[in-house]
Amino acid sequence: MLARRLLLGVALLAVWPALAEQEVPVYPGTIHTRIGNDLIIGGEYYRLAYFTTTDPMKKVAAYFAQKWRDEGYPTVVEGDLEDEAVVSALFTREGLQRGVVLRTHLGKTVGFTALRDLWTRPPKSTPSGLIKLEGTLYSQDLATRDDPGGSQNRTSLVTGDLSDVQQRVGAELTRQGFEPVRSTATKLGGGTQVTMEHARKGEQVMTTISQVDDGMSTVMQTWVGTDRPDGVPNNDAVRKSREAWEQEQKAKAAKGAGK
């Protein structure tokens, strides 16, 4: 839950890529862990990293604000500086925006640093497998690229109940040449969540569907593609995975019949 809130906080900074030689902001004396490589969120590039420190939030926020202001960049500080804070600066000459989202957790300050390219836009290319169904009310994409492959994620709010949306997603993936690997249904918070896995050579799609209201469902998809033959399930791996799942279902059925 905390990680989700932090990532949502980062998104509020706006979405950012960066020139190859540019790095995310760094707080002295801490280890910064990169999140993926170059990310694409909402059609813009990001570079993200996170760090933790025992320094109080006010001190961390003041460091970034003072540093960027001393360098002559327009800088904004928002938040109560006790539980949350956002510091961002506009680097107009480079066409970049740098920012840091701060939260407190277990007595430490947790920071997500971000770098956004204001000038460059990635080519619009959505891989097959990420479905946009008729009746989609909202859709948000997130992509990352790591040679020799990459991944993309799509979250959508769709009109239709769970079984209807599940059927439509499955039909569209089959139409695109993806083979079903497995499908599971899980009881979650009084409702049901369906997870489907599809694959074709060099590509894999994981789809999670949940009904959030009468006639309304969420669809969360992750597509993974790679140039390596062993990067995601190839045809043989798909077949073996499906056979294992079918054997598992038969074993469960036999066990139930024996009771």
DSSP reduced 3-state for 162: helix
What's the Cα-to-Cα distance from 147 to each of 92, 123, 228, rounded to whole Å?
30, 17, 10
183-214 confidence digits (pLDDT tens): 999 887 778 899 999 988 778 889 999 988 88
2-117 and 136-257, same CATH topology: yes
CATH of domain 2-117: 3.40.1000
- Residue from 17, 13, 89 nearest 47 by CA: 17
**Domain residue ranges of the chain, discontinuous segments joined by +:** 2-117, 136-257
CB atoms inside a 10 Å sphere around CB 54: 9
Taking the model in full, what pTM does it have?
A: 0.49
Q: Give the model confidence (pLDDT) of 78-122 as tens digits.
A: 999 999 999 999 988 878 899 999 999 888 999 999 888 777 665
Q: What is the block-wise mean pLDDT of the chain (259 residues), using blocks of 10 residues?
A: 42 39 83 75 77 95 96 94 93 87 91 83 62 83 59 85 94 90 84 89 86 88 66 52 69 74
Cα dihedral 10, 11, 14, 17 in deg (nearest 10): 80
Hey, what CATH class is 136-257 in?
alpha beta
CA separation (Å) from 174 to 12, 129, 163, 181, 241? 36, 9, 16, 11, 17
Amino acid of residue 63: Y
Closest to 183 in 3D by CA, of 196, 168, 169, 167: 196
